[in-house]
Amino acid sequence: MSGIAGWFAPGPGAGHQRPTLDAMTAALTGQGPGEGRIWPAGGAALAGPRGGLAEDPEPGRPRAVGREEPPRAAVAFDGVLYEAAAVRAELAGRGHRFRDGTDAETVLHAYLEWGADCAARLDGAFAFAVWDARRRRLLLCRDRLGVRPLYHARLDGAVYFASEPKALLVDSLVEPVLDAEGLRELFTQAKTPGLSVFRGIDEVRPGHVLDVGPGSAERAYWTLRAEPHTDGLDTTVATVHALLADSVARAVTGATSPCSLLSGGLDSGAVTALAARALDPAGTLRTATATFVGYAENFRPDNVRTTPDAPYAAEVARHVGSDHTDVVLGTADLLDRRLREAALRAQDRPTPFAEMDVAGLLIFRAARERSAVALSGEAADEIFGGFTWMHEPDLTAADQFPWVAYEHSHEASRRGLGLGLFDRGLLQKLELAAYGADRYRQALAEVPRLDGEGGQERRMREICHLHVLRWLPRLLDRDDRLSRAAGLEVRMPFCDYRLVEYLFNVPWALKTFDGREKSLLRAAVGELLPRSVVERRKSPFPVNQDPAYSQILRAELARLLDASDSPVLPLLDPVAARGAAAEARGGAHWLSRLNIEMVLQLHGWLTTYGVRLAL
């Protein structure tokens, strides 16, 4: 796994040096030796992984990456295409000839045939850059849901791009600056499409094409549309099953002994059971579950976790006959400084979920030891309506993102998730409530609606749209970056745009036809799984319940507060921070621990990246 990088610079400049491209590529997470470079004339350069580069497909003329003769067009590609053979067959019928049939070559031929409209003809999880020397244009594109990232920055008339922000910080291309807007993005739990936390670095929006050239513009090639749903319950259930089964089958095609990341819940169980059926009889499905030392034996329920994962995951593994592994993590693993820094660097931003980030990195690493491709149940809650707050009328009726309303309903996160130790004056100056409200209104204005649709159906259409386009991108970013750091390719069958489009238009009354969350998914896959798993209440990713973990976090916080040179200190409420460091039990609620995590993470990020505050 690696990413792509490059630039388009119409005029002369320092960015036209090969060492800059080498540095950008080296900065990408998971980038290995021997990665490719294309250095066309005309002020453009591309870099990408093996198999991720293609150029000038003119027949009869041998081409090689690294040559000096400029190509007519070139592409750098990151990700995977589904049904690429069908696209190549159509293009072959139009006279195109393929050398090796890579996804990058498929994209390049598609561009030469259809131009920027090629994006709508491709299906998969991808980000790519096309340099068209004939038209002197650079085209940047992301898949519909934004599973693969792509960032860009404009500097002195040039446009630089990369799969990760860190590659745009090398050689003083972009100074790492955190301004007020960046801090607001860090502190609010809704991702604004197009923004990063670094000043001067933006992202290509999911489902968009950015055309850099004469008349530069970004446009959407895909968006959710509101359409009447005319299928009855039985047909809807059958359609969901068919779409999901096909998506899983495409995800395992070409994958040798893939691994399913199994939590013991309905979502990952559905993917696992369908993958076991879709695999070639000679293939082996591997499964892996993250848990903690003594977690199942000493499990203590909280307000969102009522049962431990491992026993249910083991039951699914036995049921489908997978080669199963429990990845058992200890407190020492979660507090390992190198692992915490690796998780931070992978994401290029601090989060209050350092514990889960490290656990995620370790489960991805464990999966990579036996498989190159893993399957994830991510996105099921967003499209089927699985989150707790989607089923609480007070939260769905709130005039804000429902997950923010949920956070504010708990004392431990009333200031904001992970913000309990920050200076109240700073939080007031940032006007986080107003910022969140503005982002919420922008998101709400983008929701398509049916004529005459009202009441709960209208509101729940809004809620589902908000989750797909504002909540899910944060999780996809996290999964992509951590799995990339582990060298693992994670495929997400629930992110199939056909399934997302279909479910977006299924009425809420059908999605909850039996009065429970994810009714349709249960009905669609219930016969494939043990009854205990089908009926299990949703349980989020587990958290470490070892008291020593909180004690060590508090000790870390105390040491940070005693230091005089930490860049995070001016942002803190010293009384609240000292109180948290001295608190005997680490807070009355597990959410309280996130306050300490956020402070430690922000300190590490500001220090490691040399971030300058401009508030």
| pLDDT value for 587 | 46
- How wide is the angle at C-alpha 466 spanned by C-alphas 461 and 469, nearest 5°? 120
Backbone angles phi, psi at 310, to 5 degrees: -55, -45
Q: Helix H segments across 50-178? A: 84-93, 103-114
Question: Max alpha carbon distance in the chain (Å)?
Answer: 75
Per-position DSSP letters for 318-342, written without gaps between them: HHHT-EEEEEEE-HHHHH-HHHHHH
333 vs 130: CA distance, rounded Å: 42
The answer to whether 105 and 57 have CB atoms below 8 angstroms apart is yes
| pLDDT value for 542 | 78
Nearest to 472 by CA among 490, 487, 488, 492: 492
Q: What is the DSSP letter of 469?
A: I
| pLDDT value for 125 | 97
Per-position DSSP letters for 431-449, written without gaps between them: THHHHHHHHHHHHHHT---
Per-position DSSP letters for 138-174, written without gaps between them: EEEEE-TT--S--EEEEETTEEEEESSGGGGSGGGSS
Backbone angles phi, psi at 307, to 5 degrees: -145, 150
Question: Three-class SS of residue 483?
Answer: helix
Q: What is the mean pLDDT of each run of 10 residues along the chain (615 residues)?
A: 84 67 86 65 84 71 45 91 96 93 95 96 97 91 98 91 96 95 91 95 97 84 98 98 98 92 95 94 89 81 79 95 95 95 97 94 96 97 95 95 88 80 96 94 97 95 97 96 96 98 97 94 96 88 84 94 94 95 64 91 97 96
| pLDDT value for 109 | 95
Non-local (6+) Cβ contacts of 345 within 8 A are 29, 166, 485, 608
Per-position DSSP letters for 241-266, written without gaps between them: HHHHHHHHHHHHTT-SS-EEE--SSH
| pLDDT value for 349 | 96
The answer to whether 266 and 522 have CB atoms below 8 angstroms apart is yes
| pLDDT value for 50 | 76
